[in-house]
Every structure is written in structure tokens, then in C-alpha cells.
């Protein structure tokens, strides 16, 4: 009996995604005409400060000013962490209903200082603005795992310093299309691509832990 | 006229109830205005199904409901029509079954042992939602004791346990099956009450309520997990003790000494716990693994002597246990795995901690599958069969990893099982305390495992009977064990009331060591009067040696106790104290060297050497003396291989997300 229930729920959502896929086609058809000039001028972007960021299918963590009203239909939802809580927004009203039930619905555009976790159902592009004068923020890397946006700055992962005295950086992790890449101070982590630099449009996780005594 | 209204009400209510059957019904219901209203909600620790739900006004008078007995459905939801629904009422839930952290009805469910409650404020309209969770029970507990009014009690719980997350004004209105933070909060409260070493959950709830009122706890729960700023488990235990709970001081001291490991596992578990409606199968499995690991960890802490507790060993135990449980869930699924199976796995892991978990977890899965086949032959619920099951489980525990598959071969024979059953019946006659019974079960199982290994699985009923007789019908052995068990019971009883002296702690260590040596000795020979005298001499000498540590630091004491793992005394030839002292000195030196060698894994190396020493003793006991040579240590040193640290990246989860995005991304560092 339980199996039947689960199957029917799954098939319901299967239908939802088919419906979304159809609406994607329609939306794209419309947008091609209205935005054609912009596409010519700025490689698909709709704003002179903006850029179209390739977002692969899966989960990715990015950073940039994001106008949530311009998210393409291939995006299931975008999320930020605010005050310890997940806040999310989706271009699909039915998903927003579920976000309201379980999390907090994001009602404002996302600033570049926040990392944005993107759930993409297909490869797509998101319009982001990399601010030329980003907000002045003090980055605090508390104990445990935290999520940050590059905030329009390029910098080395070696510059990440844990805020709490006695803590040390265990790792910084970026994710693009469900694939993590890793920075761990003074060592190579097997099985993953290792990085050193964090770029202006990237988001990243930071894990700070109590430093082990040598 | 009044009768007619009542009949109509019943009719409408029955229509409604029969057409809904759970929380999924969203059909609007028109109920007669005024004094009849619908109450609904969910009962969640894990969802609690088939529980009795009662309704009271705030003076404790039962409210009239339809149906008269309300029970939760499979999802833990309830619905009832209430007459004269007051503006505020109390929902009390008892009995039923807890579908655990995975939220599904299956073998790992537990009987609900606590009374949960919630103070519910009537909603506008005909239907009032009142969810019941450990968190609402905590709020009720604070209100019931007259400490604070409802809104202040709720604010206090949110301030001290949730931190900044916005979860609304009224906890009873949040459905934890859909709301991550509410679900985490409920689970956290339940876990805290379960972590106090006392059976009385009502008192432990009150103890948690007290530390919340006194603001001696500060935790932030978010969708990301748990951040503990202030949490002291012994403070909760102390409150419980003051409220009359039977909490042993010894247990409290043990928890305090390894609290960091326990809290680390609690944090890891809280990260895995999600609102049931948003959990993927993988999430459910992970939550179950972390949940079982936490409680097996607590059980291990409880059964280990204070001076033998080692944080690194406990971490290794948790890691190996998690990997093993994961392996059985991958292979066998969540539906068929119950607490008996987890106990089986935990036993095997404890015994083979020195091995590489990646090598032995397949053996664990195979052994569990075969154990379940053997147990099917031992059906029934009599006391004897319960003991027989335990002995069979312990045979697996005491067997060499390579020999695990031989056990079914040996016990699949009904004649052998009959002989084993006779031995268990004889053992029950000898056991005048549960402690002695548990010890005899382990010794009998150890002897059986050795008999099966020696015969390569092709053991006869007579061989089983002879081996078992040497243990359970042996007056010298039983007499020795009774003395040691009796002393242990006396000391443990004292530990409930007051702090143990150093001598008493060392007596516990010495008793355990003597019993361990007896266990290895009787694998190969009959325990005689000579062995009995030698065991007593060994105990005296051990105690003398350990008492010399009275002024040493904890680390030195722990090293010396660990060193005892590398010595087995031959109880069949006369005991020589000088020889024992010399062997003990060598063992201490070896353990010290291992600990100083940063290139090796200390814990695994000592545990592996212990196995080497035992094997050497069992195969060469006729040589009389077991020595530990340094070259042997070098050969068996385990290369340093730190446990991989696996980071689970947090993320939100919705049922509308593609299924492959519901499993968290993990990074192994």
C-alpha cells in the first residue's frame, strides 16, 4: 500500500517536470524575439554589467547579484543560507509552495556576497551581475561548515583564515554540476580536482575545525 | 433536539473519518457550529503509529471525542471530533510504535516508551491543528511544573535550543514531517532525554526542562545541522538524579570523560535528520546508521570500565560500526534490519576493531545473513530460546573472522542445536544473577566458537555437548566466576550511590582481566582446581600491580591497562608472580613504544597484537610460557592510515527535486 502511494506521488512530480519542460520551450520562443538585440551586443546577457553564467545540470554553488525573476525554467530552485536557515526561490510556483511549507521563501534578489546553491534540472545559463563595487563585507569563517560567496573578488584559498582562535582550515570546497573540487592546506586530496584560487563568480564551503596539536 | 444534533454530528464525523484515514485528506468539512470541532495533527519522535491520543482541558478533565478512542495512523497522524473544544487544550499521547529516524514502518521501529504531550491553542474555523513532538512535550513539561506560561516557555525553548531560526510562535502548529528545523528540534530533545543513563524518560524530560529553564544549554539548530555552544550531558544527568532518577555516578563520570565523542556523534546524527517528507532513501539510511552508531556508542561506554575508556578507540568503534551498518543496509535493505541485527553487528565490530573495516564488513554482512538463517531454526519466545539466541550471536562474536561461515555449517544441524539448547538450560540453572548468566553465555559461546573452528565446521553433537559441559557443568569454574561476579555487582551497586575509590576501580579492571584470561584458557583445557587457584593468585597480583598506579596520571593508567591485553596467563601451570611482573613490564614497554611511534595506528596495532598473543597462546599453550617478542611487534604494526573524514555538504531538500539531487554531495578528505 505504501509503495503504491509513493509511486503515485512520484508520477505526479514526473508530470510536473514534463509540464515544466513544455513551458521552457514556450518561454524561450518568446524571449528569443524580445531579447535579440541584447544577445547580439553582449553574448546572451540582458544587461551591460551582467554575464551569462554556464550552470551545468545538478547542484552548483555560485556567486553574483542574481535577479530571481530572471531565472530560466531549467532551474528547479536557488538557495542561500541566511541566519542559519535555507531560503529558496524557484521559477516554478508549485515549488515555491513547497519551499514556503518547509523552508523560507526568498523574496528578494540575491547579492553577490551570498553564495547561491543552484539546483539545475538541465544544463543552462543564469544571468548574474558581478558588481564592480561589491559590498564591503567582513568574512567570518566560524567553526564547522559554512557557505560563502566570492563577492566579485578573486583571491587565493590560502587567504581563508578561520575566525575562532585555535581553529584551523580543514578544507574549502567548491561544487559545480554535482562535482566537488577541493582545497586543503598543505596537502593534495586524492580523488578530487584540487584548486588554489577562488574566482569572482564562485561560491564555496569552508570547514574550520579545532587545530590539532602537533 | 439535542439528541438529533448529536446523531448528525456522529454521522458527519464518521463520514469524514472514514473518507480520510490519515493526514492526506484535504476535503473541507462542515461541522455544526459552536461546540463541535475537529482536532488533527501528527505525533512525531519518529512518526509514532497506533498510539493512543487523549484530549484534556487545561484543568485535566478529559474532553469528549469521536471516536471515543483515538489512535494515530501509519503516518503518525490523528483526527478526532471534539465536543466543547476549549480555547486551549492538552493532547497526550501514549503507547504505539516509533518508526524511528527513517520515518517508515519497518523492522527497526521501537515501542514508544514515553508519554508525549502538547498544549494546543484552538484555531479559527472548524479544524485545529495540534502536533505532538518531544519539543512540545518539553514546553508542556515547563508549563506543567508552573515554571512559565505557554508563550514564555515556547520562547525559552526556541532561544536555548533553536537559536536564530524563525520557526513561528507556536510549536504545536509546526508539522515536523514537513519542517526540517521543527523535526530536528523534536529529535534533539528526544535524543537528550535518551542520553541520560536512566530508564525513566518522564524524569529525563523534566531534567532537560530544568536545564532549559536554568539556561544551562545553548544550541543553534538550522537546516544546516546543529551548533552546540553549551551542552553538558552530566548536568542533565545531575538534574535527573535530583529528580529521583536511578543514575549511576560511575556512568556519569564515564559520560563526562568521553563527552566530546558522544557530542560529535550527536552533531553528525542531527545533520542527517531531516523532515520525513523531504528525506530520500539514502538520507533515511544515513540517519539510521548515525542513530544506531550513537546508541551503540552509549552502550559501549556503559559497559566499559572508566579507566579503560579511550576516545580514539571509541571513534574507531563508531567509524567501523557505521561502515558495517551501512554495508548491511546496502545489501539487505532497511525493511529487514532490527535492533537484534544491529546488536549482532555491534558485537562483531567490537571484537574485530583491530582489523581494517573495509576488509571485514563483507564478512559481517555474510555472517548476519547466516545468523538469521540459524535463528529461524530457533523459533519461539521462551526464556531458553532467548538465551540460546544470545549464545548463538555470541558464538559469531567470538569466532575468528575467517571462520564466520563455519558456524551455520555447524549449527545448521538440529542435533547440534539440541545439544547447545541442553547446555543453555544447564547454564540457566547455574545462573543466579543476570550478570553471571551474561558471563556464562559469553564463555560458553567462546568455547563453542573454538570447537567449531577446531573441527572446521564439521563438528558433531557429542563434541558440542562435551565442550559445553566443560563450561556449564564445571563446579570450579562456576565457583570462581560467582565470586568475581558477586564482587563486581557489589562495586557497581556502590557506584550508583557514591564515587568509587581508586581501589574499587582497579578491582573492576582486575576482575575483567582475570575473566578474559579464563575465557582464553578454557578454550583449550578443562578448568580445574589448579586453574582456580591460579586465577585467584593472578587476581591478587594484578590488583597489587594496578594499585601501584594510584598516584599516576590517567594516561599512564590507561597505557598500563592496555598493556594487559598483551599478556595471557597460563592458568594450568603454577602461577609465578615474578614471571608475571616481567611479562607485564615487557608489555608496557611495547605499548609505550607503539604509542610513541607516530607512523603507526596505536589502537589498531595493540588490538592486532592482542589477537596474535591469543592465537599464540591457544596453539602453543603446552609450551607453558607465552612471550611477546619485539620482532613480532614490528611485523604486526599497522601502517598509519587515518580514517578518511567524510564531509556531507548540507543542502535543502524538497519532494519536487529530481531524486538524484536528494542525496547530499559527500567529500572524503
Q: Which residues of A touch B180 (CB under 8 A)?
A: 102-103
- CA-CA distance, A111 to B656, in Å (whole number)? 26
Ranges A83-87, A187-191, B235-239, most confident: B235-239
| B639-652 pLDDT, tens digit each | 655 556 778 888 98
Task: Tell me which of B17-31, B99-113, B125-139 is least confident.
Answer: B17-31
pLDDT of residue B373: 86
Average pLDDT score over residue span B365-381: 83
First-to-last alpha carbon distance for chain A, in angstroms, is 57
How far is residue B437 from each of residues B429, B440, B473, B542, measured CA to CA in Å? 9, 5, 14, 25
**Alpha-carbon span A204 to B423, nearest angstrom:** 62
Model pLDDT, residue A17: 31
Q: Contact A95/B656, CB-based, under 8 Å?
A: yes
The Cα B74–Cα B59 span in angstroms is 31
Residue A35: pLDDT over 70: no
DSSP assignment string, A84-105: TEEEEE-SSHHHHHHHHHHSEE
Distance CA B372, CA B567 (A): 35
**How far does A105 lie from chain B, in Å, by closest CA?**
12
User: CB contact, 8 Å: A195 with chain B?
Assistant: no
Task: Say what the pLDDT of residue A170 is.
Answer: 92
Which chain B positions have a beta carbon within 8 Å of A115's beta carbon?
Answer: none
Judge: B665–A102 Cβ closer than 8 Å, yes or no.
Answer: no
Peptide bond into B59 cis (omega under 30): no
Q: What is the per-residue pLDDT for A47?
A: 46
**% of chain B surpassing 70 pLDDT:** 89
Chain B residues with CB under 8 Å of A206 CB are none
B73-77, B399-403, B620-624: which range is least confident on average?
B620-624
Nearest to B178 among A92, A101, A178 (CB): A101
Closest partner CB to B180 (pick from A102, A173, A191) = A102
The strand ranges marked E within B585-659 are 646-648
> What pLDDT sits at residue A92?
96
Answer with the residue of higher pLDDT: B219 or A31. Answer: B219
Range name among A91-105, B129-143, B316-330, B622-636 with the lowest pLDDT average: B622-636
What's the pLDDT score for residue B33? 52
Q: Report, as an integer, the average pLDDT of B512-529.
A: 92
Distance of alpha carbon A83 from alpha carbon B107, whole angstroms: 38
Show residues of chain B in contact with A103, CB under 8 Å. Answer: 180, 223, 652
- Put simply, whether A186 touches B (Cβ < 8 Å) is no
Residues of chain A neighbouring B656 (CB-CB closer than 8 A): 13, 16, 76, 92, 94-95, 98
- What pLDDT is recorded for position B34? 56
Partnered with residue B320 across adjacent β-strands are: none
**Average confidence score pLDDT of chain B:** 84
Task: Write the residue in B105, B223, B665 that is nearest to A175 by C-beta.
Answer: B665
Mean pLDDT, residues B392-416? 87
Nearest to A98 among B105, B647, B656 (CB): B656
What pLDDT was estimated at residue B165? 64
| Nearest chain B CA: its distance from A40 CA (Å) | 34
Calculate Rg over the CA atoms of chain B: 28
Question: Measured between alpha carbons, how far is B80 from B39 in angstroms, rounded to an integer?
Answer: 5
Residues of A within 8 A of B275 (CB-CB) are 102
Look at residue B632 in the predicted model and tell me its pLDDT: 60
What average pLDDT does range B284-312 have in this prediction? 90
DSSP conformation class of B158: I
* Confidence check: pLDDT of B68 > 70: yes
Taking 70 as the threshold, does the pLDDT of residue B356 lie above it? yes
Q: Which structural domains are found in chain B, ordered by start?
A: 2-132 (2.60.40.10), 133-257 (no CATH)
Q: B397 and B448 in contact (C-beta within 8 Å)?
A: no
pLDDT score of B502: 93
pLDDT of residue B104: 73
The answer to whether the CB of B448 falls within 8 A of the CB of B395 is yes
pLDDT at B278: 80
Q: CB contact, 8 Å: A191 with chain B?
A: yes
Positive or negative: CA dihedral A78, A83, A84, A85: negative
Tell me the per-residue pLDDT of B433-490, one tens digit each, with 9 for 90 and over. Answer: 999 999 999 999 999 999 998 888 888 888 889 999 999 999 999 999 999 999 999 9
- Is residue A71 within 8 A of residue A55, CB to CB? The reply is no
- Rounded (5°) CA angle B162-B279-B662: 110
Judged by CB atoms closer than 8 Å, whether chains meet at A103 and B649 is answered as no
Contacts of B25 in chain A (CB under 8 A): none
Contact flag B667-A173 (C-beta cutoff 8 Å): yes
Query: For residue range B177-233, what is the model confidence (pLDDT) as tens digits?
Result: 888 888 888 899 988 988 887 777 788 888 999 999 988 888 888 777 788 888 888
Burial A132-143, CB ≥16 within 10 A → b, else e: eebeeeebebee
Helical spans, DSSP H, in B43-126: none
Shortest Cα distance, chain B CAs vs residue A201, angstroms? 20
DSSP per-residue string spanning B415-475: HHHHHHHHHHHHHHHH-SSHHHHHHHHHHHHHHHHHHHHHTTT---HHHHHHHHHHHHT-H
pLDDT given for residue A36 in this prediction = 26
Pairwise pLDDT comparison (B601 vs B290), residue with the higher score = B290
Inter-chain residue contact B220 with A170, CB threshold 8 Å: no
Verify whether the Cβ–Cβ distance A99 to B645 is below 8 Å: no
Q: Which of A56-70, A187-201, B640-654 has the highest mean pLDDT?
A: A56-70
Spatial strand order of the sheet with B65-66 comes to: B65-66, B77-83, B36-42, B127-129
pLDDT for B15 equals 38
Closest Cα of chain B to A144: distance in Å?
Answer: 8
- For residue B400, name the pLDDT band (cuts at 50, 70, 90): confident
Structure confidence at residue B13 (pLDDT): 42
DSSP sequence for B350-414: HHTTTS-HHHHHHHHHHHHHHHHHHHHHS---SHHHHHHHHHHHHHHHHS-GGGTTHHHHHHTSH
pLDDT higher than threshold 90 for residue A169: yes
Within 13 Å and on the Cβ side, how many CA atoms surround B283? 29
Query: B355 or A172: which carries more pLDDT confidence?
Result: A172
Looking at per-residue pLDDT, the higher value among A22 and A87 belongs to A87
A101 inside 8 A of chain B by CB: yes
The reported pLDDT for the residue numbered B597 is: 78
Helix (H, G, I), strand (E, B) or coil at B71: strand
Confidence of residue B496 (pLDDT cuts 50, 70, 90): confident
When pLDDT is averaged across residues A52-68 and rounded to a whole number, the result is 95
Interface test with A, best of B273, B641, B665, B666 (most A CBs within 10 A): B665
User: What are the pLDDT digits (tens) for B226-267?
Assistant: 888 888 888 888 888 888 888 888 888 888 889 889 998 998
Overall average pLDDT of the A3-14 stretch: 32
DSSP A16-41: HHHHHHHHHHHHHHHHHHHTHHHHHH
Mean pLDDT of B520-539: 92
Q: Is A99 on the interface with B (CB under 8 A)?
A: yes
Question: What average pLDDT does this structure show over B270-281?
Answer: 83
Bigger pLDDT: B166 vs B425:
B425
Mean pLDDT of chain A: 77
Phi then psi dihedrals of residue A164, to 5 deg:
-85, 135
pLDDT of res. B634: 62
Which class for B216: exposed (0-12), middle (13-18), buried (19 or more C-beta within 10 A)? Answer: middle
Q: Which residue of A has its CA nearest to B223?
A: A85
CA of A149 to nearest chain B CA: how many angstroms apart?
16
Amino acid at each position: 500500500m505504501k509503495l503504491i502511494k509513493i509511486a503515485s506521488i512520484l508520477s505526479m512530480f514526473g508530470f510536473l517536470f514534463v509540464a515544466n519542460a513544455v513551458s521552457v520551450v514556450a518561454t524561450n520562443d518568446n524571449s528569443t524575439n524580445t531579447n535579440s538585440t541584447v544577445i547580439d551586443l553582449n553574448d546572451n546577457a540582458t544587461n551591460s554589467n551582467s554575464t551569462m553564467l554556464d550552470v551545468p545540470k545538478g547542484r552548483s554553488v555560485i556567486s553574483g547579484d542574481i535577479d530571481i525573476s530572471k531565472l530560466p525554467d531549467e532551474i528547479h530552485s536557488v538557495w542561500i543560507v541566511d541566519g542559519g536557515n535555507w531560503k529558496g526561490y524557484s521559477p516554478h510556483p508549485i515549488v515555491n509552495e513547497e519551499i514556503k511549507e518547509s523552508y523560507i521563501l526568498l523574496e528578494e534578489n540575491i547579492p553577490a556576497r551570498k553564495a547561491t546553491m543552484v539546483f539545475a534540472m538541465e544544463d543552462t545559463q543564469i544571468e548574474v551581475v558581478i558588481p564592480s563595487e561589491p559590498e564591503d563585507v567582513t568574512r567570518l569563517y566560524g567553526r564547522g561548515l559554512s557557505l560563502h560567496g566570492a563577492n566579485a573578488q578573486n583571491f587565493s584559498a590560502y587567504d581563508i583564515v578561520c575566525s575562532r582562535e585555535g581553529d584551523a582550515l580543514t578544507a574549502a570546497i567548491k561544487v559545480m554540476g554535482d562535482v566537488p573540487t577541493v582545497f586543503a592546506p598543505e596537502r593534495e586530496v586524492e580523488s578530487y580536482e584540487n584548486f588554489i584560487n577562488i574566482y569572482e563568480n564562485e561560491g564555496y564551503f569552508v570547514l574550520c575545525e579545532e587545530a590539532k596539536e602537533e | 433536539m439535542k439528541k438529533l444534533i448529536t446523531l448528525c454530528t456522529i454521522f458527519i464525523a464518521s463520514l469524514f473519518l472514514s473518507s480520510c484515514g490519515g493526514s492526506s485528506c484535504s476535503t473541507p468539512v462542515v461541522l455544526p457550529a459552536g461546540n463541535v470541532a475537529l482536532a488533527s495533527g501528527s505525533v512525531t519522535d519518529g512518526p509514532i503509529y497506533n498510539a493512543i491520543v487523549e484530549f484534556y482541558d487545561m484543568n485535566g478533565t478529559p474532553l469528549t471525542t469521536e471516536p471515543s478512542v483515538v489512535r494515530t495512523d501509519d503516518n503518525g497522524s490523528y483526527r478526532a471530533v471534539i465536543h466543547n473544544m476549549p480555547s486551549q487544550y492538552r493532547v497526550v499521547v501514549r503507547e504505539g510504535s516509533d518508526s524511528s529516524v527513517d520515518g517508515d514502518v519497518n523492522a527497526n521501529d521501537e515501542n514508544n516508551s514515553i508519554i508525549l504531550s502538547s498544549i494546543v491553542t484552538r484555531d479559527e474555523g472548524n479544524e485545529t491543528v495540534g502536533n505532538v513532538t518531544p519539543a512540545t512535550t518539553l514546553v508542556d513539561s515547563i508549563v506543567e511544573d508552573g515554571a512559565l506560561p505557554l508563550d514564555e516557555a515556547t520562547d525559552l525553548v526556541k532561544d536555548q535550543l533553536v537559536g536564530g531560526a524563525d520557526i513561528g510562535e507556536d510549536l504545536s502548529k509546526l508539522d515536523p514531517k514537513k519542517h526540517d528545523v521543527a523535526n530536528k528540534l523534536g529529535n534533539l530533545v528526544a535524543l537528550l532525554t535518551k542520553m541520560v543513563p536512566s530508564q525513566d524518560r518522564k524524569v529525563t524530560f523534566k531534567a532537560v526542562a530544568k536545564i532549559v529553564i536554568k539556561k544551562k544549554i545553548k544550541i543553534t539548530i538550522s537546516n544546516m545541522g546543529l551548533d552546540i555552544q553549551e551542552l553538558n550531558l552530566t548536568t542533565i544527568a545531575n538534574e535527573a538524579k535530583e529528580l529521583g532518577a536511578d543514575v549511576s555516578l560511575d556512568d556519569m563520570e564515564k559520560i563526562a570523560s568521553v563527552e566530546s565523542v558522544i557530542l560529535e556523534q550527536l552533531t553528525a546524527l542531527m545533520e542527517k535528520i531531516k523532515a520525513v517528507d523531504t528525506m530520500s532513501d539514502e538520507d533515511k539510511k544515513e540517519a539510521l546508521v548515525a542513530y544506531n552508531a550513537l546508541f551503540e556508542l552509549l552502550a559501549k561506554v556503559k559497559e566499559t570500565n572508566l579507566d579503560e575508556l579511550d576516545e580514539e578507540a571509541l571513534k574507531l568503534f563508531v567509524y567501523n560500526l557505521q561502515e558495517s551498518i551501512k554495508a548491511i543496509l546496502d545489501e539487505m535493505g532497511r525493511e529487514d534490519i532490527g535492533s537484534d541485527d544491529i546488536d549482532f553487528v555491534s558485537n562483531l565490530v567490537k571484537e574485530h576493531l583491530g582489523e581494517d573495516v573495509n576488509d571485514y564488513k563483507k564478512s559481517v554482512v555474510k555472517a548476519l545473513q547466516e545468523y538469521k538463517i540459524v535463528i529461524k531454526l530457533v523459533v519461539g519466545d521462551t526464556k531458553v530460546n532467548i538465551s540460546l539466541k544470545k549464545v548463538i550471536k555470541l558464538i559469531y562474536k567470538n569466532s575468528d573472522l575467517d571462520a564466520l561461515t563455519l558456524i551455520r555449517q555447524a549449527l545448521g544441524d538440529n542435533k547440534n542445536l539440541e545439544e547447545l539448547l541442553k547446555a543453555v538450560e544447564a547454564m540457566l540453572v547455574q545462573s543466579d544473577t543476570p550478570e553471571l548468566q551474561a558471563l556464562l553465555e559469553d564463555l560458553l559461546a567462546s568455547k563453542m566458537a573454538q570447537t567449531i573452528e577446531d573441527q572446521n565446521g564439521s563438528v558433531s553433537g557429542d563434541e558440542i555437548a562435551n565442550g559445553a559441559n566443560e563450561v556449564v557443568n564445571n563446579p570450579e569454574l562456576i565457583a570462581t566466576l560467582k565470586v568475581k561476579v558477586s564482587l563486581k555487582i557489589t562495586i557497581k551497586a556502590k557506584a550508583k550511590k557514591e564515587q568509587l575509590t581508586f581501589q574499587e576501580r582497579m578491582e573492576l579492571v582486575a576482575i575483567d582481566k582475570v575473566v578474559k584470561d579464563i575465557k582464553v584458557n578454557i578454550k583449550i583445557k578443562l578448568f580445574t582446581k589448579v586453574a582456580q587457584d591460579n586465577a585467584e593468585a593472578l587476581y591478587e597480583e594484578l590488583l597489587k600491580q594496578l594499585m601501584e598506579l594510584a598516584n599516576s596520571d590517567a594516561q599512564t593508567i590507561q597505557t598500563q591497562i592496555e598493556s594487559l591485553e598483551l599478556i595471557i596467563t597460563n592458568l594450568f601451570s603454577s602461577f609465578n608472580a615474578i614471571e608475571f611482573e616481567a611479562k607485564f613490564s615487557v608489555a608496557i614497554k611495547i605499548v609505550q613504544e607503539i604509542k610513541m611511534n607516530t607512523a603507526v595506528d596505536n589502537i589498531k596495532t595493540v588490538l592486532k597484537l592482542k589477537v596474535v598473543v591469543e592465537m599464540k597462546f591457544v596453539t602453543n599453550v603446552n609450551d607453558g610460557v607465552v612471550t611477546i617478542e619485539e620482532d613480532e611487534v614490528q611485523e604486526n604494526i599497522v601502517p598509519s592510515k587515518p580514517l578518511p573524514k567524510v564531509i556531507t555538504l548540507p543542502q535543502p531538500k524538497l519532494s519536487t527535486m529530481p531524486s538524484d539531487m536528494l542525496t547530499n554531495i559527500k567529500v572524503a578528505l
